[in-house]
Amino acid sequence: MHFSGFRVIKEALTGHKGWKPLWRNPDPQPSYDYIIIGGGGHGLATAYYLARTFGQARIAVLEKGWLGQGNIGRNTTIIRSNYLLPGNEPFYEFSMKLWEGLEQEFNFNAMISQRGVLNLYHTDAQRDAFRRRGNAMLLAGADAELLDAAGVRAMAPFLNFDNARFPIKGGLLQRRGGTVRHDGVAWGYARGADMRGVDLIQNCEVTGFRIEEGRILGVETSRGYIGAKKVGVAVAGSTGRVMQMAGMRLPIESHVLQAFVTEGLKPVIPGVITFGAGHFYVSQSDKGGLVFGGDLDGYNSYAQRGNLPVIEDVAEGGMAVMPMIGRARLLRSWGGIMDMSMDGSPIIDRTHIEGLYLNAGWCYGGFKATPASGYAFAHLLAKDAPHDTARGYRLDRFARGHVIDEKGVGAAPNLH
Partner 1 sequence: MLIPHPLLGLRDAQEFTYLGDARLIERPDGMAAGAEAVFADYVYLRDNPAGVHRELWFHEQGDRSWLVVTRDTVTHEIISAELARDVAMRGKGGAA
Ligand X SMILES: Cc1cc2nc3c(=O)[nH]c(=O)nc-3n(C[C@H](O)[C@H](O)[C@H](O)COP(=O)(O)OP(=O)(O)OC[C@H]3O[C@@H](n4cnc5c(N)ncnc54)[C@H](O)[C@@H]3O)c2cc1C
Q: Which residues bind ligand X (CB under 6 A)?
A: 37-43, 62-65, 69-72, 74-78, 205-206, 234-238, 242, 257-259, 293, 336, 338, 362, 364-368
Q: Is 414 in the site for partner 1 (CB under 8 A)?
A: yes
For residues 66-89, one letter each, b for 16 or more C-beta atoms within 10 angstroms of the residue's C-beta and e for the rest, the string is: ebbbbbbbbbbbbbbbbbbbebbb
Q: Is 301 in the site for partner 1 (CB under 8 A)?
A: yes
Residue 212 pairs with which residues in a beta bridge?
Answer: 215
Which of the stretches 103-111, 158-166, 236-244, 287-295 binds partner 1 when contact is defined by CB under 8 A? 236-244
Of residues 336-365, those binding partner 1 (CB under 8 A) = 342
Which of the stretches 1-9, 25-33, 156-164, 251-259 binds partner 1 when contact is defined by CB under 8 A? 251-259
Instruction: Give the separation between CA 345 and CA 83, rounded to whole angstroms.
Output: 11
Which of the stretches 187-195, 241-249, 348-356, 376-384 binds partner 1 when contact is defined by CB under 8 A? 241-249
- For residues 365 and 376, the answer to whether their CB atoms sit within 8 Å is no
- For residues 163 and 17, the answer to whether their CB atoms sit within 8 Å is no
DSSP codes of every residue in 367-399: STTHHHHHHHHHHHHHHSS--GGGTT--TTHHH
Q: Is 244 in the site for partner 1 (CB under 8 A)?
A: yes
Contact with partner 1 (CB under 8 A) among 302, 323, 332, 402: 302
With 0-12 / 13-18 / 19 or more C-beta atoms within 10 angstroms meaning exposed / middle / buried, residue 50 is buried
18 or 246: CB nearest ligand X: 246
Per-residue binding string, partner 1, 165-184, x by CB under 8 A, is --------------------
Which of ligand X, partner 1, none is residue 63 near (CB under 5 to 8 Å by kind)? ligand X
Instruction: Give the separation between CA 398 and CA 410, rounded to whole angstroms.
Output: 10
Of residues 64-103, those binding partner 1 (CB under 8 A) = none
Side chain identity at residue 400, one-letter code = R
Q: Is 253 in the site for partner 1 (CB under 8 A)?
A: yes
178 or 237: CB nearest partner 1: 237
Which of the stretches 3-11, 145-153, 297-305, 351-359 binds partner 1 when contact is defined by CB under 8 A? 297-305
> DSSP class of residue 346?
-
Instruction: Give the separation between CA 49 and CA 68, rounded to whole angstroms.
Output: 18
Which of partner 1, ligand X, none is residue 250 near (CB under 5 to 8 Å by kind)? partner 1
Q: Is 10 in the site for partner 1 (CB under 8 A)?
A: no
Instruction: Give the separation between CA 100 and CA 108, rounded to whole angstroms.
Output: 13
> DSSP class of residue 75?
S
Which of ligand X, partner 1, none is residue 84 near (CB under 5 to 8 Å by kind)? none
8 or 399: CB nearest partner 1: 399
Phi and psi angles of residue 172, each rounded to the nearest 5 degrees, phi first: -100, 120
CA 48 to chain CA centroid, nearest Å: 16
Contact with partner 1 (CB under 8 A) among 40, 41, 240, 294: 240
Q: Is 411 in the site for partner 1 (CB under 8 A)?
A: yes
Q: Is 207 in the site for partner 1 (CB under 8 A)?
A: no
Q: Could you tell me the smallest distance in angstroms from the CB atom of residue 271 to ligand X?
A: 13
Which of the stretches 42-50, 117-125, 215-223, 296-304 binds partner 1 when contact is defined by CB under 8 A? 296-304
> DSSP class of residue 29?
P
236 or 395: CB nearest ligand X: 236
Closest CA to 206 of 186, 184, 228: 228
DSSP codes of every residue in 155-198: H-TTS-TT-SSS---EEEEETT-EE--HHHHHHHHHHHHHHTT-
Per-residue binding string, partner 1, 304-333, x by CB under 8 A, is ---x-x------------------------
Binding site for partner 1 (CB under 8 A): 239-241, 244, 249-254, 298-303, 307, 309, 342, 398-399, 411, 413-414
